[in-house]
Structure 1
């Protein structure tokens, strides 16, 4: 599952190009040479029919790469690929599961011979912005405008949660389909809280009061994934948006000068930094990776931990009996906040792409249409314990306690759902940029003012770099 983007730099891309004989045209970032071989946006279409609205070549092989991470690949082999084979029995599916997507596919992208469908996720994710800039991705507009798998009178885009297509859009075109709908917030053990009589706080004043009580009970109030401190950008920006409104996040995405030094961002950073000065973080958490910190939390050493809704699935093998995962939104920093307590950060994640030079790109689109069907989405949820971007796809599915809790919070939020795009549009600004700075803040190495100034500096680097394509919302 995607939680961060690897720094798949232009230098690394060039190394792969040299290894395969491909060239990058100076000053353009576009691949030349053998990268022009293979398929293309207007090529390899079959006859379009009611049962085949995307014009899939019915007997052409389909090559698929799935990231073999937290979600595994059974949802592909046991759900989506059988559906494809049933519709197109003459097509052969070549399935591969990989941990390092960039390592497996870099040379194939620059060589003009990529697979037809890629789950671009994990530590070795190829940054989407880089692929878009290098003109390597197939435009998914036809997918979203196609009749849905279940109802030919309804377009695919109309069967999805709001902004599902927008999450993979660069400029005015969608280039990535995000399948998983991740809900982000604070997690706690409901069994422990019920036993202690603790109630998840709705305001920061309630949070600090509860932290004092939790610490007195011999438990650290908070843990976080210190080596991957980016996890703490999620409560940071969510609480800032609750305090100052959605425009705080839009200014950050739009690289506006001073956006990171907005008072709402500073107030949120001050609250999180204050947990350290009060001794409310688990000792040593700043040096733990996500596995170590989450395991410590599961063992009852800490009460709260920030994470996405994949947490329950990720921890299932190490969580003790009787532990009940529960989700709560981040507290309000002020009584006069711009948005209500129920506001949460929820975003489509787990990106899937069709390379522009694929031999069977229409088959790749059709595979996505299958994934976005009710059967495909329900199967994804059952196999991965993740919500999806398909409306109603969790209905009738037996969800575990934590995911049920997260879905309840998502339903309660209604339209008060926030998200941001800078980490998708500008991978290096996000990681190591902002992520390194919040790590320094939470470890006490920098002040709030130094943190926000440093983050503004990262935005300025992107803003002033003419080689980086800019996007706005």
Structure 2
């Protein structure tokens, strides 16, 4: 993980070490403005945009979204910026009361959505949903979006976070490698272990890896496995900080199984590698499988050899009596865009989002970065890459058996603790029993802390 220090919820956005306290408190006390009813940026002459430079890069903003916005508002100058360290770069701006106008708050170092909402730092985008969509005045913005975007992006009854991409999670592999070796994606845990053993004995590559420096990549399949075993309520209980939620039987079993797999089949040196390094190792045929999301193919496009042919499979059936059937998967809107409540040009920010959410913009985005946007119909008529097709097919096959969780966005301190504990677990330095105890302890601390806003689903 990044060495960027995390501030406590009480310190976050207060700017104790960043700006004079009086100024920070005054900024936090300022009432959050409402989105203007008009869809025109008015006299504003500049729009400041910050893009997370991750799996999708930032060229989509300069090549697709911003030209579309400028075509309607040519007099508004766009100040384009990008970073991999969103919190480090932009948290001081919030503390100082001068945040930019549009932010893609994504990546391992994203700002704490729960704290931003609690401090009134997010513009209420609900009025935007009832505005005309960018390309068709007869259709409202809300009717162009996957309904999950509205659910996931709502905090305390206010829609304030726009997830632009359907993240579809699974275990990723090369179709070429599997075909050349006669391997088949496993459908049961027994088949999964047998496949890992077969790969290990062949000696050509390691069976499994994950982003060692970003252990949330490993926690995702652990939690999906737990939900497979125990049902969706396992994840709902984590979100709601239910007593003992992290110590539930299905979570213990999932943690144990992945710890055992890691002990036997993990690529050597994984703990010291980041996501790009482990993904590149897969492109070099040094490892067979890794957990990731549907952004993977685009993120690795410069190192993926011809004919590699990305694909993913879902978490195998675990116990023979799982609550959820084979094919259940974790998917939820990601690549999260916000307009700060105190932005100098908040209405311009709203219109920038409207441009992004047009079918034209989302379709071109999908074509450029090989992914599945949350805008309805954005992928129509596109020739899908193998990875995107595999993820899209898995999503369609899952039907109602899709999963998501929100605790990691609501409670960043809990995410940090769970992430660190997962790294220790997968490296063999923490037992499954100690893992669930450690994370449960942090969840209990957050639940008991009256200064932290609690969310429910």
Using the size of structure 2 for normalisation, the TM-score is 0.92
Provide the C-alpha distance between the structure 2 equivalents of 1:442 and 1:194, rounded to a whole number of angstroms.
29
Q: From 382, 388, 391, give the equivalent of 1:397.
A: 382
Q: How do 1:285-300 and structure 2 match up within 5 A?
A: 285-300=270-285
1:463 equivalenced with 2:447 (yes/no):
yes
Which stretches of structure 1, 4 residues or more, deviate above 6 A after TM superposition?
2-6
The one-character-per-residue Cα deviations of 1:383-411 (angstroms, maximum 9, x if unpaired) are 32221111221122233211221111111
CA gap of 1:339–1:90, structure 2 versus 1, over 3 A, is: same
Local SS of the residue matching 1:228: coil
Provide the C-alpha distance between the structure 2 equivalents of 1:97 and 1:276, rounded to a whole number of angstroms.
35
2:373 is aligned to 388
Provide the C-alpha distance between the structure 2 equivalents of 1:316 and 1:389, rounded to a whole number of angstroms.
22
Q: Once superposed, what is the RMSD of the aligned Cα atoms? A: 2.5
Provide the C-alpha distance between the structure 2 equivalents of 1:315 and 1:391, rounded to a whole number of angstroms.
26
CA gap of 1:451–1:84, structure 2 versus 1, over 3 A, is: same
Q: From 269, 286, 291, give the equivalent of 1:301.
A: 286
Q: How do 1:435-450 and structure 2 match up within 5 A?
A: 435-450=419-434
The offset of 1:418, in angstroms, is 0.4
Q: From 221, 224, 227, give the equivalent of 2:210.
A: 224
1:112 is aligned to 97
Provide the C-alpha distance between the structure 2 equivalents of 1:281 and 1:240, rounded to a whole number of angstroms.
20
CA gap of 1:382–1:12, structure 2 versus 1, over 3 A, is: farther
CA gap of 1:427–1:418, structure 2 versus 1, over 3 A, is: same
CA gap of 1:463–1:11, structure 2 versus 1, over 3 A, is: closer
1:32 is aligned to 25
The one-character-per-residue Cα deviations of 1:285-334 (angstroms, maximum 9, x if unpaired) are 23322223222222222211111111112222222333121111010112
Provide the C-alpha distance between the structure 2 equivalents of 1:268 and 1:227, rounded to a whole number of angstroms.
21
Gap regions ≥5 residues in structure 2: none
Provide the C-alpha distance between the structure 1 equivalents of 2:46 and 2:29, rounded to a whole number of angstroms.
20
The offset of 1:15, in angstroms, is 7.7
The offset of 1:466, in angstroms, is 0.9
Local SS of the residue matching 1:164: helix
Provide the C-alpha distance between the structure 2 equivalents of 1:10 and 1:334, rounded to a whole number of angstroms.
39
Q: How do 1:125-274 and structure 2 match up within 5 A?
A: 125-218=110-203, 219-274=205-260
8 Å contact kept, 1:17–1:107: no
Provide the C-alpha distance between the structure 1 equivalents of 2:12 and 2:215, rounded to a whole number of angstroms.
27
8 Å contact kept, 1:198–1:210: yes
Local SS of the residue matching 2:147: coil
Q: From 23, 33, 36, give the equivalent of 1:41.
A: 33
CA gap of 1:191–1:154, structure 2 versus 1, over 3 A, is: same
Provide the C-alpha distance between the structure 1 equivalents of 2:191 and 2:129, rounded to a whole number of angstroms.
44
Q: From 411, 415, 418, give the equivalent of 2:403.
A: 418
8 Å contact kept, 2:2–2:109: no
After TM superposition, the structure 1 stretch with the greater mean CA deviation from structure 2, 369-378 or 283-292, is 283-292
